[in-house]
Each structure stands twice: as structure tokens, then as C-alpha cells.
Amino acid sequence: MGGSMSALENVMTDPIAPTARTITDLDEVRLLNLLKRQFGATPPPSTRALLEVLDNADVVAPQAIAPEVVTMGSQVAVDIGGRAQTLSVVYPEDADAEAARVSILSPIGAALLGARVGDRVCWQGTGGAPITAQIQAVPFQPEAAGDFIA
């Protein structure tokens, strides 16, 4: 999985956001602050999908998020083109493709945030071809483990 994950992340560009998302208010605040710190008042087009998630998601308290929803710090089991993988959605400084920790600023990270088990999420590869992942499970979610400030 290690080398293939790195190759997969290298070919991705702008994700296509799914319709219904739920995020925690803490994730929303932290991610908006991250975007502001990294990009100032004008985030680049590559952050469009993440901004759409933040703008359109149902926002709930960390204690109220369903355990099958992908939040920051979650591990998520996905099927990408018939290949099962477990990824963690992390902040950019914690990203490590070899360890399957994907940055929230990457197309796949933005595509996963706020989605839930059973959802299909899509993003575009560099050649314009869509890449689709089916969310199979959320084996770990900080909020479900009682960590409401992770």
C-alpha cells in the first residue's frame, strides 16, 4: 500500500464534493483557521472542494457527531477501484503517504471529510478522469472514542 498510496496522491487534483456532509464545529473552526493561516484572504482553487464542504455541511457539536462520519483524525476504510485501503484524515503537518495519512488539503482528504459509511466520494485525477472511493467503515473516529478536542 505504501508506494501505491504515494503514487495515488501524486496524481490527484481537485476533488468533487459529495452532497450531504456533517462536520463538527471544532473541525470547522480549525479548518477555516488553517486555510486563513496558510493562504490568507484568497485561498487557491485547489481548496475549492474543502471550502464547499465547510460552507455547506451540517455543523454539529463534537458530542453529537454520528460515529460513522469521517472527522479530522478519523481512520476510514475505503474501496478505491476494487482495492481496499485504510486511510487517516489529518492536518497537513501530520500527512504521510507511506503511513496512509492523507492531508485534509489533499483532494482525497477533502473528499472524505464529513462523508459517512456507505457514501461514494469522488475527485478528479490529473488527467481529468474521476476517481471514486466507497466508504466501507470508520474504524476510528476521535469523537466516538470520547476525544472531543482532538
Residue 35's φ and ψ, nearest 5 degrees, are -60, -40
Structural domain range at position 134: 2-140
Question: Is 147 within the bounds of a domain?
Answer: no
Domain count, the chain: 1
Q: Which three cell numbers stand for residue 92?
A: 497537513
On the 0-12 / 13-18 / 19+ scale of CB atoms within 10 A, 83 is exposed
Instruction: Tell me whether residue 146 is in a domain.
Output: no
The answer to whether residue 134 is domain-embedded is: yes
pLDDT in tens, 73-127: 999 999 999 999 999 999 999 999 999 999 999 999 999 999 999 999 998 777 8
The CATH code of the domain that includes 33 is 3.10.50.30
Instruction: Output the pTM of the full model.
Output: 0.85
**71 falls in which pLDDT band (50, 70, 90)?**
very high
